[in-house]
Amino acid sequence: MRLKGIIVFVITLFLISCSKREAYMINDGQVYGTFYHVVYQSPGSRDFHPEIQEKFRVYTTTFSPFEKESVISKVNKNEPVELSRYFISCFNRALEISEITGGAFDITVAPMVNAWGFGFRNKETITGELIDSLKNITGYMKVKFKDGRIVKENPNIMLDMSGIAKGYTCDLIGDFLAEKGCENYMVEIGGEVVAKGVNSEGKTWSIGITEPEDDNLFGSSELNAIVRLSGKALATSGNYRNFYIEDGVKYAHTIDPKTGYPVQHSLLSATVLANDCATADAYATAFMVMGLEKGIRLSGEIPDLEVYFIYADESGISKVYYSENFKKSLVVQY
């Protein structure tokens, strides 16, 4: 009887332990002007949302150019500021990817983007003279980290890490959850995603790639594909949510840092699968500048980088290109 009682007790403890392990927390909110979703299997059913919110506050006061007292805002205003390890790490990675992409990714492009305005509302004011003047304060080679500070060739140069900061922040939150003992988690910020392990159903995390639709102001809700994601990161950048047509030519919302003008090519969206989300985020942005052919060529030269490109053929019909190893992550392609 005593042995039976011990067995029942042990089984009960095991079931309680399993129940605790199966507890998944869902934390939602806003950061960087977009929404975040963090889902994780929490040891002891602990809710880490207050700590996550505090980390987002720190990252916002580091990377957001819309916060007057943020680190990046002070750098842009040439004010003295102590650069955090987060800022330095992200800045250095941005310059590395800028070099690899030949400047297609460039965190100094902000003045050009601002000149065109959201939705190209300022396009009537754009002149060749203005673009030439903006080129003088654009270029990743004109900034560097030296002796604990950012050194600019021209004090009017402005930094904007929006093309890498969301992905980098996903990595940081993922690292935080791992340090807390979470073996299964998914972190998504504005479409940039990092995931590890399995979801609450015990299945690999499934992430959707949306279908480009020109007539949908807020982007498409229809899926082009679903991807399995575990131990990897995924980021998507796309032209289809913001463009205008002039003389039959579609001008995308992506500004080419080297020309100062919107890119003109057939690539509608670029999804990148990488080991970390900062890398995926930055390359997705770069490929939208480079276009389909150059994007395919460069992506094939970079280890541990897989791509899924949606583009328009000569008839305007959406087509898909994906790298060989990306196919292994595809669950469904519609």
pLDDT digits (tens, 9 = 90+) for 213-249: 654 434 446 788 899 999 999 999 986 555 555 565 5
Calculate the alpha carbon distances from 10 to 5, 6, 135, 306 in Å.
Answer: 9, 6, 71, 47
- Domain assignment present for residue 229? The answer is yes
- Supply 117's token pair: 């305005």
Question: Cα–Cα distance between 69 and 62 in angstroms, integer?
Answer: 9
Q: Residue 133 — very low, low, confident or very high, per pLDDT cuts 50/70/90?
A: very high
Q: Note whether residue 49 is domain-resident.
A: no
Distance, in Å, from the CA atom of 306 to the CA atom of 162, rounded to the nearest integer, reads 22
Tokens 């990817």: give the residue: 97
CATH number at residue 309: 3.10.520.10
- The answer to whether the CB of 299 falls within 8 A of the CB of 117 is no
User: CA 88, CA 81: separation in Å to the nearest integer?
Assistant: 12
Q: Which two tokens stand for residue 290?
A: 């480079």
Query: For residues 275 and 7, which has the higher predicted lDDT (pLDDT)?
Result: 275
The answer as to whether 304 is a domain residue is: yes
Which pLDDT tens digit goes with each residue over 123-132? 788 899 999 9
Task: Report yes or no: 211 and 223 within 8 Å, Cβ to Cβ.
Answer: yes
| Average pLDDT, integer, range 316-327 | 90
pLDDT of the residue at 318: 83
In this prediction the pTM is 0.88
Q: What is the dihedral of CA 74, 75, 81, 82, to 10 degrees?
A: 130
Considering the domain boundaries, does residue 279 fall inside one?
A: yes
Residue 232 lies in a domain: yes
| Type of residue numbered 143 | V
Q: Among residues of the chain, what percentage have pLDDT more than 90?
A: 69
Hey, what are 216's tokens?
């949908």
Structural domain for 224, as ranges: 198-333
Distance from C-alpha of 52 to C-alpha of 47, rounded to nearest angstrom: 10
Question: What is the number of alpha carbons within 13 Å of residue 305 lying toward its C-beta?
Answer: 24
**Per the structure block, which two tokens stand in for 20?**
């605790």
Contact 249/316 with Cβ under 8 angstroms?
A: no
12 falls within a domain: no
CA torsion through residues 201, 206, 207, 209, sign: negative
Considering the domain boundaries, does residue 223 fall inside one? yes
245, 251 in Cβ contact below 8 A? Answer: yes
Question: Is 277 part of any domain?
Answer: yes
Number of domains in the chain: 1
